[in-house]
Amino acid sequence: MKNLIAISLFFLISCKHTQQVNSQITGNEQIITKIENCPKNGSCTIALIQNKKLDFKVDEFGNLYPHLNKGDKTILKYTFTKNKIDNTADTNYTEIVYAELDKSYSKTSLIDDQLQVIKLHYGRLCYCKGESGYFPIKKGVFNLSKSDKDSLKIDLFFSIKNIPQIISEIHETISLKSNETN
């Protein structure tokens, strides 16, 4: 009987811990997994993270990294993850684009240096010496509009000087309806 109680307590604690970890990972993110324009050698997601503010901090080596705080904005996070090569070390490769949007998703058209109004940044995370990290996007065009009350259209073309990129443009329409129900 003691063993049964101990096993039951173990499973109860384990399940509760798993729930807490999952809620910390997902938080307010509503992830859209159906990305139409993703390179064939990987997968793409879009997350709209509500009630946050985006800041980029600098670590002790002078590298930028994103930091999300409570706020009154919605963070757009586009992630491309390249498929890993089996039985090969250091093949992790991810590209991320961050933008800080108004909660109302007001129509936005920005070009080049104006892109920093929405804190548009590109991240290349890989084992790529000297070509990895987060970089402000200063060359490109960003357009955001509501197609109707339930969808958001994003068009982005950009380039980062001296950094190889797989993702240099994003053209997506996101259903806001599914985000409100989560």
DSSP states of 24-44:
HHHTTEEEE---SS--TTEEE
**pLDDT given at position 23:** 24
Q: Which residues, given as ranges, of the chain have pLDDT below 50?
A: 1-28, 179-182
Q: What is the pTM of this model?
A: 0.79
Is residue 56 within 8 Å of residue 133, measured between CB atoms?
no
Rounded-to-integer distance, Cα 141 and Cα 110, Å: 6
DSSP 164: -
Question: Residue 130: its pLDDT value, please?
Answer: 86
User: Residue 1 and residue 18: Cα distance in Å, rounded?
Assistant: 26
Q: What is the pLDDT of residue 15?
A: 36
Cα separation, 15 vs 9, in Å, equals 10
d(C-alpha 99, C-alpha 77), whole Å: 7
Domain membership of residue 140 (yes or no) is yes
Name the residue range of residue 37's domain. 28-181
Q: Are 72 and 53 in contact (CB under 8 A)?
A: yes
User: Tokens 């173990």 correspond to what residue?
Assistant: 10
Q: Is residue 143 part of a domain?
A: yes
In a domain, 177, yes or no: yes
Give tens-digit pLDDT for 134-155. Answer: 999 999 999 999 877 788 999 9
- Coil vs helix vs strand at 21: helix
Q: What's the domain count of the chain? A: 1
Residue with the two structure tokens 């990987």? 42
Model pLDDT, residue 17: 31
| Whole-number pLDDT of residue 29 | 56
Residue 17 falls inside a structural domain: no
Distance CA 113, CA 130 (A): 24
Residue 23 resides in a domain: no
Residue among 43, 26, 59 at smallest CA distance from 133: 59
Tell me whether residue 116 is in a domain. yes
Q: What is the pLDDT of residue 32?
A: 62
Domain presence at residue 151: yes
Both tokens of 78, joined, read 């586009």
Q: Would residue 52 count as lying in a domain?
A: yes
Contacting residues for 72 by C-beta, under 8 A, at least 6 apart: 51, 53, 103
